[in-house]
Amino acid sequence: MANFFKIIIATLLVSLVSLIGLLVISFKKSFLKKISFFLVSLAAGSLMAGAFFHLLPEAAEQLSAEVLFPTVLVSFVVFLLIEKVLHWRHCHQENCKIHTFAYMNLVGDAVHNFTDGLVIAAAFLTNPSLGATATTAIFSHEIPQEIGDFGVLIHSGWSVKKALAANFLTATISVFGGVIGYFWLSLHQTVTPYLLAFAAGGFIYIAASDLIPEIRKSEGSQKSPGSFIFFLLGIFIIYLIG
């Protein structure tokens, strides 16, 4: 049961990131935009390191290359499908373009958060170190994502209370994902390496298709060296945790 409580605590911590909207309304837009940019760089490094240093090596111990790499590819396809069908997108600045798919975006985020819970459960059931690594990578990614989601809801006309409540409710889906993942994976342990490989593909997809393009926008600006440093810092932090 020790792993169960670790999973609950980890998913609760990730869920609490949704309340970062309280900080959004406290800071100036220019400061928030600058901080969000570097947080995106940190998240990109964390996700890439989590995938290549920890998730893939753990999955490779139980899966052959013929199974491992197709599973990662399937993960790419599934995450792309979620993004297209559910209009799941990431918006990393508080003044992002407003979409008319606010509710569908919340549904997409809920699916994403549920997957995060499953990943955290699978990681902790493999070993505590991997659980801590996966939680840190997901946590770092949730910060800029939640800032953007909150800003979009506010600019869509939602009240602060309604936006906070909506973000928090969708974020708590990760707790359910963690609980379901714990009991399901405990009974079907052979599924765990497949889920780790799937999670690795998701981490790489998010970093490569969503976060790194944001970093590339800094080319030629004064932010470019800083963004690269934060990207390396994200890699280094995940390496140390592992």
The 3-state DSSP class for residue 116 equals helix
Query: Tens digit of pLDDT for each residue in 124-177?
Result: 999 999 999 999 999 998 888 777 777 667 766 777 788 888 888 988 999 999
CA pair distance 189, 191, nearest whole angstrom: 5
Question: What are the domain boundaries of the chain?
Answer: 2-241
pLDDT at res. 70: 96
Mean pLDDT split into 10-residue runs, the chain, 242 residues: 92 88 63 73 92 95 95 92 67 49 69 92 94 94 78 71 86 94 92 94 90 74 76 92 77
The tokens for 151 are 């800003």
What b/e string do you get for 115-145 counting C-beta neighbours within 10 Å, with b at 16 or more?
A: bbbbbbbbbbbbeeebbbbbbbbbbbbbbbb
pTM of the model: 0.84
Burial pattern 176-207, b for ≥16 Cβ within 10 A else e, equals ebbbebbeebeeeeeebbbbbbbbbbbbbbbb
Give the per-residue pLDDT at 223.
63
Q: What is the pLDDT of residue 28?
A: 59
Q: Look at residue 60 in the predicted model and tell me its pLDDT.
A: 95
